[in-house]
Structures are given as structure tokens and as C-alpha cells.
Chains A and B, each alone.
Chain A
Amino acid sequence: MAKEKVVLALGDDISTDIIYPGRFMATVLPKETPQFAFVDNAEFNRRLKAKEIPAGSMIAAGKNFGCGSSREQAVSCLKGYDLAVVAKGIARIFLQSAINLGLNIVICPEVEAAAGDELEIAEGQVRNLTSGKSFAITPLPKARQSIIDAGGLIPYTRALLLARR
């Protein structure tokens, strides 16, 4: 992965209600959900919609990122802008949905990153090029590697379907 900038730095327990508030849940299609990404953070949402944030940019978060609801909109809205998430920990359903949809996620329990920092992901480490510190990455669950390799759960399931007689 190339060097990318942290565009949003967040604390622990960032719930799906913060990423994609429940009041927009009637909007479900992945091509329509990005407009409501972090909608209660008006400035960040505006920058996303104005395309001021380049694809690949990173959100740095603390523990338990994506906790709460199973709403997949919270994943698809970030995927729509091709954002990546580096978090100290990721809640189970969000983690699985991120893998299923191909959202780039990195679990890095000790990561320290502020908005504006430049990060490089390489060789099992997150290198914060701004602070000069490096932090070890926790590998994603092995059980899910085949889904990641297939490019997401839809192509993976489709291949299994086609493999049936």
C-alpha cells in the first residue's frame, strides 16, 4: 500500500450510528449510501461529497470501531469513497462486512495517528512517517482469507454456486 494521509482521527467505540446514522437506513444501495457517511460530522461529510478527500485516504480509530448495528451501509458508505480504516480494534460484524465488501481495514492495537499524519502499511507494520513510530499489525482472521483473495463475498459465493453441478 502506498503512503496515505490520515483524514480523520477518532477515539474508541465509534459505532455504526456515528458512521451511518440509523435515520438514513432506508437508503440501502451501495451507490447511494456514501452521501450519508459520517453525516453528523458536517465538515468531514462535506469534504467527502466535494471529493476533496482522495481515494485511499485513511481513517484512524481506537478500539471497537464499527460496534453496534449490523447495518452494512456503515461499510458501503466508506467503500464508496475508497477510504481505508486503521483501528486498534474492529467489532466483529463490521470486520466481516468490510472483508465481504472489500473495504480496506487494518487492525493495529497500538497505533498512534493524528489527522494529517502520513502512514505507510508494509511488512506487517503501520509506519507513521510523521511521528517516525511503527506499530505491529494483527493479521485478519485466517478463516476469511479466501474471501479476501476472491475480492469479496459476492464473487466468492458466485464461484461456489457455479462449482455446484
Chain B
Amino acid sequence: MGMTYVQKLLAKACGRSQTAVGDVLEPPVSLAMSHENGALVINQFDEIFQGTGREAKIWDPERIALIFDHRVPAESAKTATNHKKIREFVAKQGIRKFHDIRGDVGGVCHQILPENGYVRPGYVVVGTDSHTTSHGALGAFSFGIGATEMASVWTLGRILNVEVPGTIKVVVDGKFPEGVYPKDLILHLIGQVTSEGANFKVFEFHGATIRAMSTSGRLVLCNMSVEAGATSGLVPPDEETRRYLQEEAGVREPLDCFGPDPDAVYEQTIAIDASRLEPQIACPHTVDNVKPISAVAGKMVQQIVIGSCTNGRLDDLEIAARILKGRRVADSTRLLIFPASWRIYREAMKRGALTDLAAAGAVICNPGCGPCLGIHQGALGDKEVALATTNRNFKGRMGNPNAEVYLCSPAVAAASAITGAITDPRSLTVPQGAR
């Protein structure tokens, strides 16, 4: 029987000719990523070895990545102490895929992994972060796990008791209309599937729209697949995957690119015509509460965030800069920019996007997770409303349970910054240069 992409990937990883949905496997892990919660993983890892008489050594230091992004630079003594604990562990274990708080190699984990070529097609990737689903954009089976699960991976080098998931095939055709982006597509899909509709399943993305989409856009789709409950989102690798990994991530080794079998069996197929989409907004307090922008346009917002592992890439910043250049952030709101990595930050600086955004009134923050989960910068005041290009709008998400978060694309965020209210970028009437 034909296999879907994830079935085939897991069969290859486990050295089997076939896998069926529901098979229990223990695939070797190609890459294991943690961020600041590595401090908890270290604690659990040490506990596994306690009383065993064995030296607590990780299975393969080359397959572990540790990235500081959630609270950078440290906002408290507690965080700084966690950072210190992780640095000491990294030195002791000889981990080289370590990204400290630095303007050259630093950034958000879900951008650092792709841009450094740490993820390849066919890889099994686990991360102690739910948005580890992102890396399916490069053809990996990549999913979030808890810290204790990670400690087990660090010990054994494989992930225990994984059930081969069923696959939902998502076929996207048609050209995006002006002002509509991959973010709108994934919000629309989550709205359709609901927040738990893909629980324990994966999305496999196909269609002409996906083939024509940059890796940056595919990362948006896979990043947010978890918001429908999916274990992972996957884009079977193609020419764009090769181009990105070889040209942008500097990968020299041969790539194992394969696709699903033509007679693969899918649990469900969802067809979407991208040409019929309009900008989408996820309304409080669940990501599946998705409405077309026409239903919420005019809602006043006091904070706008552009950035994060979802939409903090160069194309996102340039879309925002093009809209805001020569215009002005409304006095009634504030605009925060969080590039996804320092490489992106420096490139956006060189190209002038950051200057244009700052000149319009945006505050350029350092790459990091920042306000997305309300743990560092950009907390909301009571009864404030935020509009963000991030991935979650749960109650309390941006640091305040008495506030609201709406989610959107960078274009909607930029247009709304000018008016101070949720605004369709296609309807902007304030001319550039008007201040």
C-alpha cells in the first residue's frame, strides 16, 4: 500500500520498507532542539542518570541544538542563572550548535535551525517547543515534546513510542490576490479544521501555490500547523527546498529528497483555492476563531507586533516597511518589530527596511520571542487590544489575562499601524508621505 510522506520518512528513518498509521516506532533523532527550557531538560537528564553509576553524557553532541531566544537578554536574575547553567552544560558536553545572545549568530530557534542548515529533508526533529512543527517546511518530521521527553532523547538518541500519524492532505492552488499571504492561508485552514481537528495527525501540503511558495512562506504554514493540533506540518521537499538549503543555508552535503507514494492513503483531503482568500484575522481567545478581515476591520488596537518565529523573516519585514515607508504609526498605537534572527536583522538594516520602519515610529527590538508569550517585553495593559503577526492569541498570552490579542499577516499589521485600527492593506487611503 502506498505511503504518505511522513509514513515513508519514518520507514526510512527506522530502516523498514513499510509503515502503517498507528505503528509504534522508536526512530533515531536527527536533531534535538531546546531553548531556555533546556535548563529543565538538564535537570531531568541528571535525574535519569542518578544512582545509575553512569556518567551523564548526551548521546551525540552534534545532534543537539541549544538556542537562547525566549528571554534575551535576560530580564531577571533567574533567567540569567538558567542561561549560565545551560552555557556550562554546553561547554561540558561539547555541544557546538549553540546560539548564545549574540548579534552574529543569535535569533529565534525556529529561524536559527533553517538558516544554519541544521534541518534537512527526511530528518526526524524534536524540540522542546510546540512550534517545532515549523521545520516540516524543509521536509523533516518535526514536532514538539516536553522537557522530560527531551531528557530521554538526550540519553538514548531516539524518541520512544512514536505512533505513525495519519495524514491530512492539504492541496492549495491558485494565486494569492494582492494583500493576501501564506499567513492568511494557514489562518483560514485552522479556522476550517478547528484547534483540535488535526490532533495526533499531520498536514502534508501540496498544490501549485505551495510549489511556488518560498521557504519563508512554507515555514509560516508549518509553524502554525500545531494550532490545529497537528503533530507536524510537512512540505515534501522540492527544488525550492534544495535552493534554500544550498543557497541560503550553505548546505554542501547531498540531500535526500523524496515524495509520498502516488497511491498514498490520506485520512482526509482539503482543497483550498488561494485566489479566493481575503486577509484573515484570528480573534480572541482561540486561534481557530478566524474571520475574514471585513468582519473585524475598524477594531482599535493599542499595540501591534510584527515578528516572531511565525512572521519575522526578511520578506515579512520588507512587506511592512514598504507599507509604512513615508507614513506614520498612529499616536493611539505602538508598533514593535521583532526580527526572527540577527542575520535577518542585519540584512533588513542593510536594505533600509528597519530604518524605514523606525522612521515611521516603530520600535525595533532585538530578535527573540519577546511579547509573543508575554515573558519579556511588550506586555499589554488591562483591557488593551493587540494585533500581532505571532501565532497564538490565548487568554493571557501577551502577558495579561485582561487583554486581547488578534492575529494577522505582516501586511495587515503594517496597514493597521498607520490607522490604529484593524485595516485591510488593500483599502489604505492615507497616501505615503502624509504625516
Contact = CB atoms under 8 A, between A and B. Distances in A.
A114 interface: no
Interface majority SS (helix, strand, loop, mixed), chain A: helix
Contact of B399 (A18, A22, A156, A157): A22
Nearest to A29: B43
B161 A68 contact: no
Contacts, number: 159
B149 A71 contact: no
A147 interface: yes
Interface string A53-81: 00000000001100111111101000000
B4 interface: no
A45 interface: no
A28 B40 contact: yes
Contacts of B379: 23
A165 B239 CA distance: 44
Interface centre among A29, A93, A100, A147, by most chain B C-beta atoms within 10 angstroms, is A93
B373 A69 contact: yes
B149 A96 contact: yes
Contacts of B199: 64, 89, 91-92
A46 to B, nearest CB: 16
Nearest to A146: B161
A17 B395 contact: yes
B79 A26 contact: yes
B355 interface: no
Interface string A86-97: 000101110011
A119 B48 CA distance: 35
A13 B52 CA distance: 40
Given A153-B152, A161-B52, A96 B79 contact: no
Interface string B79-97: 1001000000000000000
B315 to A, nearest CB: 26
Size bracket of the A interface = 35 or more
B148 A141 contact: no
Size bracket of the B interface = 35 or more
Interface in B29-72: 36-37, 39-40, 43-44, 47-49, 52, 54, 70-71
Contacts of A71: 37
B394 A27 contact: no
A18 B394 contact: yes
A17 B148 contact: no
A22 B405 CA distance: 15
Contacts of A17: 373, 392, 394-397
B47 A154 contact: yes
A122 interface: no
Interface of B: 24, 36-37, 39-40, 43-44, 47-49, 52, 54, 70-71, 76, 78-79, 82, 127-130, 132, 144-149, 151-152, 155-156, 160-163, 195-196, 199-200, 229, 231, 285-286, 373-375, 379, 392, 394-397, 399, 401
**Interchain residue pairs A-B with the least CB separation, the first 6:** A97-B146, A22-B373, A28-B40, A64-B196, A15-B394, A157-B152
Interface of A: 13, 15, 17-18, 21-23, 25-29, 40, 63-64, 67-73, 75, 89, 91-93, 96-97, 100-101, 141-144, 146-147, 152-154, 156-158, 160-162
16 contacts: A13-B286, A17-B394, A29-B43, A40-B395, A64-B195, A67-B229, A70-B128, A70-B130, A70-B145, A70-B146, A92-B229, A153-B149, A154-B47, A154-B152, A157-B155, A158-B48
Given A26-B76, A93-B145, 14 more contacts: A15-B392, A17-B373, A17-B395, A17-B397, A22-B374, A23-B375, A23-B399, A25-B373, A28-B82, A64-B199, A69-B129, A157-B152, A158-B49, A160-B155
